[in-house]
Structure 1
Amino acid sequence: MEAPITGTAAGVPFTALAPEGGGPAPLIVTWHMLDAPRSDAAFAAALPMHGLPAWRVHLGMPLCGARMVDGTMDAGLALIREDVLMSFLYAFARQAAEEFPDALASIRAQLPVGDGPIGLLGGSLGGAVALRILADTDTPVFAAAVVNAAIRMRSVVDLFPGEYPYDAVSEAAVDSLDFVAKADVIAGRAPLLVVSGELDHPGLRADALALADAAGAELLSIPGLAHPLADEPGIEPAPQSPHAREVDGGLAEWFRRHLASAQAE
């Protein structure tokens, strides 16, 4: 089993897991949750997809992992208090998506991943990033998957206390991250697996079912799984939980299936 490779790609920290032997292979890019596991290293430990004949490169989200300020998540918590949507949720998802093209070019320069279609994976808010790359760019993708994802950003805003004071700008921002509304585009881009914990937040669970139905995506329901995939604090790599192991197995099977299809073309 290859040891994780850490580095930066155009300023974005990453944890990379190599295929057996570490040679040339397709690329799967992931974005982690802001719940546990909330760093690229912790997400790689929770969902390593060992044995998959692909490079798995786990990118760090803004202000997380190696980009934490003073080694804590306090800066992110301050942004939640400032404006949970525009300063935190929308801002993080937008920054991660905008960083991606340069990060991808840097990954291709550093690792033997070639220039073919890639796989996408995102958990929670990282799922919104993966879906945005899928829906709003022309990046070639052979398959994508999301886990307990932020599929409709309004549903995520609703998880926070109080009634959010929407205006024209924030309405446009939150609507730009409604991927059920973009299901037709997503369906035409690449095969999608929607992984949903049966004990996830009810709004997020409903959105997962809605996206799977509207996009004709494959749905993998995980009994007993709530929203997080790891225990708190979720910053450092930790042993894989039983529920994460079940998700990991489903993801590995999904990407293995579509890697075979992509390589056969």
Structure 2
Amino acid sequence: MNSPITGTAAGVPFTALPPADEGFAPLIVTWHMLDAPRSDAAFAAALPMNDLPAWRVHLGMPMCGARMVDGSTDAIVELAREDALMSFLHPFVRQASEEFPAALESIRARLPVDDGPVGVLGGSLGGAVALRILADTDTPVFAGAVVNAAIRMRSAVDLFPGDYPYDAESAEIAADLDFVTKAGRIADRAPLLVVSGERDHPALRADALDLVDAAGQRAELLSIPELAHPLAEEPGIEPAPQQPLAREVDLGLTAWFRRHLPERG
């Protein structure tokens, strides 16, 4: 097994897992959860997809992993307390999405990856990033997947205590981050696997079912019995042994991306 490669791509921390054999190979880019595993290195350990003949490059979300403030997630917690949508969820998705083109260019300049369409994968809030790449950009994508994803941002906001005080601006942003309404665009862009733990938050589980239904034949649902929202044990910052339920997710993702991998040049 080749060792992980770590570094930064246009300022974005990453953990890259090479394919077993040498030479150019397709690229799959991921964005991790803000629950455990909550760093690029920890997400790579939870969902390595080791049997894929492709590079898997796990990008760090804002203020996570190598970009944590003072070595902890306390600053993220404070942003969430300040305003769950406008200070935390929306800015994180926006920044991760906006960082992606330059990070992708940097990755392609330093790693032997094909220059064709990429695969995209996101977990939880990282799932919203992957869906935004599919719905709102023209980056060529050969296949996408999300795991326990924030598919409707209103559902993610509702996980925080209290009634959120929507105004015109925040309501518009929440509507823009409702990817069920963009299912047609997503389906036109690439096939999508929606992985949903049967013990995930009920609203997120319902949104997963709605997205698959709205996307039609280009989307598939993979339900994982007994899987709650996280994919790793707390604190979820450092790489840890893969949990049995994460292994089930990993096998499903590996089979999905293998089915859709472009031919190697």
| TM tier relative to shorter chain | over 0.9
Amino acid corresponding to residue 229 of structure 1 in structure 2: L
TM-score computed with the length of structure 2 as normaliser: 0.98
Partner of 2:246: 244
Answer yes or no: is the 8 Å Cα contact 2:25–2:264 preserved in 1. Answer: no
Partner of 1:202: 202
Q: What CA distance in whole angstroms lies between the structure 1 residues aligned with 2:165 and 2:184?
A: 30
The runs of 5 or more residues in structure 1 that have no matched partner are none
Cα 1:75–1:230 change in 2 (3 A) is same
Q: CA deviation at 1:22?
A: 3.9
Q: What CA distance in whole angstroms lies between the structure 2 residues aligned with 1:145 and 1:36?
A: 18
Q: CA deviation at 1:176?
A: 1.0
3-state DSSP class of the match of 1:151? coil
* Aligned pairs, number: 263
Q: What CA distance in whole angstroms lies between the structure 2 residues aligned with 1:49 and 1:206?
A: 26
Q: CA RMSD in A?
A: 1.0
Answer yes or no: is the 8 Å Cα contact 1:117–1:140 preserved in 2. Answer: yes
Amino acid corresponding to residue 231 of structure 2 in structure 1: L
Q: What CA distance in whole angstroms lies between the structure 2 residues aligned with 1:71 and 1:182?
A: 37
1:90-149 deviations in Å (ceiling 9; x for gaps): 010000000000000000001011210000000000000000000000100000000000
1:61-82 deviations in Å (ceiling 9; x for gaps): 0000000011000110110111
Amino acid corresponding to residue 232 of structure 1 in structure 2: E
1:73-84 matches, cutoff 5 A? 73-84=73-84
Amino acid corresponding to residue 197 of structure 2 in structure 1: G
1:113-262 matches, cutoff 5 A? 113-216=113-216, 217-259=219-261, 262=262
Runs of 4 or more consecutive aligned structure 1 residues displaced over 3 Å after TM superposition: none
Partner of 1:87: 87
Q: CA deviation at 1:172?
A: 1.0
Q: What CA distance in whole angstroms lies between the structure 2 residues aligned with 1:237 and 1:82?
A: 30
Amino acid corresponding to residue 68 of structure 2 in structure 1: M
Q: What CA distance in whole angstroms lies between the structure 1 residues aligned with 2:22 and 2:226?
A: 35
Provide the identity percentage: 79
Q: What CA distance in whole angstroms lies between the structure 1 residues aligned with 2:165 and 2:123?
A: 27
Amino acid corresponding to residue 260 of structure 2 in structure 1: H
The runs of 5 or more residues in structure 2 that have no matched partner are none
Q: What CA distance in whole angstroms lies between the structure 1 residues aligned with 2:264 and 2:81?
A: 50
Q: What CA distance in whole angstroms lies between the structure 1 residues aligned with 2:13 and 2:84?
A: 24
Answer yes or no: is the 8 Å Cα contact 2:33–2:124 preserved in 1. Answer: yes
Q: What CA distance in whole angstroms lies between the structure 1 residues aligned with 2:227 and 2:114?
A: 35
Q: What CA distance in whole angstroms lies between the structure 1 residues aligned with 2:119 and 2:131?
A: 12
